[in-house]
């Protein structure tokens, strides 16, 4: 039986890819890396959090911000599928642009 990935917005897929490439980042760093508006990144993080694909940890140097990273407790096969899906999306967008 094949597991069907939950439907995620493109913005969430982009964040998965950035987090897989760069590891733990703050929201401000994510915004800079993906070049999307803050509101879009907040929505994408919310959706990823609902699916338990990301975790948030307090930034001990600045308690006003959080570090986001991929959830290490998620089955790695599932996470690899999400990352592959995100890479495919980004490559398709690069061809169109």
Q: Which two tokens stand for residue 61?
A: 């140097």
Greatest C-alpha distance within the chain: 45
The predicted pLDDT at position 1 comes to 42
Residues 85, 89, 55, 7, Cα dihedral to 10°? -70
pTM, to two decimals: 0.87
What residue ranges define each of the domains in the chain, with the CATH number in brackets? 10-96 (1.10.10.10)
Q: For residue range 47-86, what is the model confidence (pLDDT) as tens digits?
A: 999 999 999 999 888 888 999 999 999 998 989 998 999 9
Mark out the alpha helices in 1-97 (DSSP H runs): 10-22, 27-34, 38-50, 76-96
Distance CA 6, CA 61 (A): 34
């Amino acid at each position: 039986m094949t597991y069907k990935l939950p439907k995620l917005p493109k913005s969430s897929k982009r964040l998965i890819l950035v987090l897989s490439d760069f590891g733990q980042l703050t929201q401000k760093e994510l915004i800079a890396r993906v070049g999307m508006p803050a509101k879009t990144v907040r929505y994408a993080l919310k959706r990823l959090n609902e699916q338990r694909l990301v975790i948030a940890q307090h930034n001990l140097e600045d308690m006003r911000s959080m570090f986001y990273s991929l959830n290490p407790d998620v089955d790695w096969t599932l996470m690899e599928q999400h990352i592959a899906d995100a890479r495919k999306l980004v490559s398709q967008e690069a061809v169109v642009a």
